[in-house]
Structure formats: C-alpha cells, structure tokens
Structure 1
Amino acid sequence: MDILLVDGYNIIGAWPELNSLKKKELSAARDRLVEIMAEYQAYTGYRVIIVFDAYFVSGTQKKYQNYKVEVIFTKESETADERIEKLAIALSNRKTQIHVATSDFTEQWAIFGQGALRKSARDLLTETNLIEKKIEKSVKIIQERKPSSKIPLTEEVAEIFEKWRRGEQ
C-alpha cells in the first residue's frame, strides 16, 4: 500500500490557486486542497493524510475525514513536520511505501532517514493536474458513448422521464 503524507500549509503556500485562496480565506484553501487530494486518492489508490500545523487554527489537536481523506491538525506545540515524521515511522512497514509531499528542505532530509520518498509541491501539482485531465477525458468519452433514446422525445418529455428516473416528482 502507498501512503501520501501531505504538509498542508506548505502545499497551500506553494500552489498558485491555493495561495491566492489563502489570502482571501484560509479555510477555503484547506477545503480545496482536501478536494484535490480526494481526487488524487480515488485515482491513484494511495491513502492520503493531510497534516496542518495547529498554530493557524486555535484549539487542540483534531483529526477527521473529509471525502475519505484523513485530515490532521497538530497539537499547539507540535509542527506538521514533527507529526509527519512520527506518522512516517508509525506507518512504515514492508508492505507500505510512504511518500511525503512537501517542499520544506529540512523535512525532506528527515523523511529520507525514515525511508520515505518525497514529492515536492511542484511535482504533486503537476501530478494532480495530469490526473484531472485524465479524469476529464474519461468523463468526456463516457458522455459521448451515452446511448441515445431509440424513440424520438421532445425536450420536455425527456426532462419528465429524467425526473421520474431520479425519483423526483
């Protein structure tokens, strides 16, 4: 099994779309990162864990799942780097390959020591963009192959049938 540990704020700061969102509303940037990583997880089959530093969010340590992506906010005195290192050690075994997404140079050296592989923020952005294009292409092919009705229907009747199919009245 492959596991991707993501340094959340490092990635947000490095990706243009998320960085501009962060300037308006930090929570929107976090939510968008989770959405992107959910697509990544669904496409690649990796288990994705995003770690955010607690100093941007008041309160205690939190852990939750959103779109089946695990999201962790560290304890107030703990950095995302420290938590990622602990997770890399705890999750590492013969059957598991740990990947860490960060552009933090110090963190990269620390994770190499744990046997994890790194993905820079730029590498991950390139990979997620490629995945998004492949998904769009697959959806387009499916839509083009969508069978047409053998009986000619007006738009109005087709709309009524579609509502019935969905259980709407």
Structure 2
Amino acid sequence: MDGYNIIGDWDELKELKKKDLGQARDKLIEMMAEYQAYSGHRVIIVFDAYYVRGIENKLKQYKVEIIYTKEKETADECIERLVKRLKNVQTQVYVATSDYAEQRIIFGQGALRKSARELSLELAELEREISHNVSQHLKTMPKSKIPLSDDVLEKFEKWRRGE
C-alpha cells in the first residue's frame, strides 16, 4: 500500500494531515492493523522517504509491516520491487493506490489493485461486521447470577484478557 497516496485520498486522514502528518500516518497504521487483525491478510505500508528523511527503514507495528523507502526511492519503486519479490503462483498480491500509472505497472507484474476508495469501503464494511459480531456476542453472553456494576464487570473482562 502506498501510505501517502491513501492519506491524501481519505477525507479523515487528509484533514489530519493538514494538522500533523505523523498523526495521519499513525491513524492509517492503526486502521490497517484492525484490517489485518480481522482479515488475516498480510499488510505492508510503504511511505516515501521524501517526507521522512533517512535510510530505508522497516518497522513492524502490530502485525503491519511499515517501510520507509531509501531517500531517493519513491514508494512506487519500492512497491514494484515488493510485488516482484512476493508475487507467485500461491500468493496473490493486491496494491492499494489510486495512482493510475502505478496501477498499470503492477497489473503488468501480475498484482491486482485496490483503489483508495475501494479500500475505504472495505474497511467500513469490516467495521460494520465487527460491530455486528460484538453485539451478537454481547446478546449471547451468559448473565451473571450476582449483580455487578459495569465498572466491576469491565475490570473482570480486562483480567480475563490479561490486560
């Protein structure tokens, strides 16, 4: 995924970018971490070094891989290199970008594309599914025989999750 391309396309992130690019980046990473956790798909976000000076850097936050390109390398070049390395008979690669030229190049390499809008719609649908599943789970949860306040129940739930 071309991180800055997505940030520049999604209204929520575009507004955040005007105030603080770092916050917009972090929000995108958080959103994609939720997507990764729910879908199980491998997610790699590539950011141009143009905005973040320094050598190529790879980070892993949550289970999302974040790559900052080398200083004179674009996100598109890095994505193309990744597609060549990752695409094979058993692995279908999707690239999220609304850059038309990049879409044509990755099609030529056998990858598929998701536009920023398509990815946004997919995330919204996942959020609806998660909300529905949570509400279904809450309905089926056994009720306690001992009346407990919400804050006590919340503490018990945190303990159960190991938080």
TM-score for the superposition, normalised by structure 1: 0.88
Task: Give the structure with higher Rg (CA).
Answer: 1
Q: For 2:159, which of 158, 162, 166 is the aligned residue? A: 166
1:155 equivalent to 2:149? Answer: yes
Aligned position for 1:59: 54
More relative contact order, 1 or 2 (CA 8 Å, 6+ apart):
1
Which residue in the other structure is 1:3 paired with? Answer: none
Query: Structure 2 CA distance, aligned partners of 1:103 and 1:121?
Result: 6
Moved over 3 A (4+): 160-165
CA distance in 2, matches of 1:124, 1:164: 32
Q: How does 1:86-125 map to 2 (within 5 A)?
A: 86-125=81-120
**1:35, CA displacement in angstroms?**
1.0
Residue matched to 1:81: 76
Displacement of 1:80 after TM fit?
Answer: 0.1
Q: What's the CA shift for 1:162?
A: 4.4
Q: Normalising by the residue count of structure 2, what TM-score does the alignment of the two structures yield?
A: 0.91
What SS does the aligned partner of 1:89 have? helix
1:63 is paired with a residue whose SS is strand
Give the superposition deviation at 1:98.
0.5
Residues 162 and 43 of structure 1: is their aligned pair in 2 closer, same or farther, counting only changes over 3 Å? closer
SS at match of 2:93: strand
Query: Residue 50 of structure 1: CA displacement?
Result: 0.3
Gap regions ≥5 residues in structure 1: 1-5
Paired residue type of 2:130: I
- Aligned-pair identity (%): 55
- The counterpart of 2:136, out of the listed 138, 141, 146, is 141
**Matched length:** 160
